[in-house]
Structure 1
Amino acid sequence: MLMLTQRLNSATEISVNFTLFLTAEERTRTRYRFETPEGQSLYLRLPRGTILNDGDLLQSQTGEVVVKIAAKPEPVLTITSSNPLSLLRAAYHLGNRHVPLELTPHYLRLSPDPVLQAMLNQLGVEVKPEIVPFQPEIGAYHHHS
């Protein structure tokens, strides 16, 4: 079993041994066991509170193996509107519910939820189910390690 314990600077040109595709929730886990498509066991052991991002590099304890983290496509709801104020209003209401939310100037994205989807439909924004990588905003009080 290979233990991943250290985050590397992504800007460094390093040879990657594996790419690990993880959902948004899986990228918040600091202690977790994964299987590579090749059948190798990887054990994640990172400082508590670490949130992994698409493109992050992790190194094994011995330094000989480097794993790249990739955002795995997963079911989401993508919210769009031709009216910027409607999109802003949707972000406000979703923020009040403290749901993980991906924010961009052109769309919002969240995990599927029928209650929230009904609320968004009432707000008059377009809601489209998709399967794409989900990269929610990191909380304002989270210190990136």
Structure 2
Amino acid sequence: MLPTAKRIPRGQGLAPALLQRAATLELDWDLRQKSRFPATDSAGRELGVFLPRGTLLRGGDVLVAEDGSLIRVLAAPQPVLRISCCPSHATPLDLARAAYHLGNRHVPVELQADHLKIEPDHVLADMLRAMHLIVQEQNLPFEPEGGAYATEHGGAAHPAHAHAHGEHPGPAQEHRHA
């Protein structure tokens, strides 16, 4: 078993060519929340993942094995509920309202511009349908938000800002993202 104890968030600083050549490890959300587990990468190697407690693996993260080899983590497709607005009865505000209610129940939620994703739950599905939202059972990668106090954003990569968070440009200043 090849020990793997280092994580590079989203492969930051690694050359794209290295990332393309790296073996992959496809994991569902439940397993990506664990800090110690055995796994088999795309090259057929048996890995022992030993990360600091509380570490979450995200799709795009890179693990570094004891021998120096790289393993790119992929978010595996898994059963999810995809929640979107009904074009006849709902508005984007209804989707925001659904995100609020799910968060109030501490449900892991993946936020996208036009839909939400959660793990399957028939009670929540009924609640969401009652809110005039479309709820579809699908098999998709799941990247829930990390929460307001997480050190990294969940879901899609977040670009660097031209300003520090908490600082807002004044009326004469331009607000630009890098």
Q: Same fold (TM over 0.5)?
A: yes
**Structure 2: stretches of 5+ with no match in the other structure:** 153-178
Runs of 4 or more above 3 Å deviation = 36-39
Matching residue's letter, 2:140:
V
Seen in structure 2, the aligned counterparts of structure 1 residues 49 and 143 have a Cα distance that, compared at 3 Å, is farther
Aligned to 1:68: 72
Q: 1:86 aligns with which of 86, 94, 109?
A: 94
Greater displacement, 116-125 / 16-25: 16-25
1:58 equivalenced with 2:77 (yes/no): no
1:38 to 1:11, Cα distance in 2 relative to 1, 3 A: closer
More strand by share: 1
CA offsets 1:77-122 (integer angstroms, 9 cap, x no match): 0000141111011111111110110001210000000010011111
CA distance, structure 2, for counterparts of residue 11 and residue 101 of structure 1? 28
Residue type of the partner of 1:129?
A: E
Percent identity among equivalent residues? 41
What is the aligned length? 143
Mapping of 1:1-145 within 5 angstroms? Answer: 1-8=1-8, 9-13=11-15, 14=18, 16-36=21-41, 39-63=44-68, 65-81=69-85, 82=87, 83-144=91-152
Q: Which moved more, 1:69-78 or 1:11-20?
A: 11-20
State the 1:37 CA deviation.
Answer: 5.3
* C-alpha RMSD over aligned residues: 1.6
Contact 1:72–1:132 under 8 Å retained in 2:
yes
Q: Using structure 2 for the length normalisation, give the TM-score.
A: 0.75
Confirm or deny: 8 A CA contact 1:10 1:55 kept in the other structure.
no
TM-score (norm 1): 0.91
Which one has a bigger Cα radius of gyration? 2
Unaligned runs of 5+ in 1: none
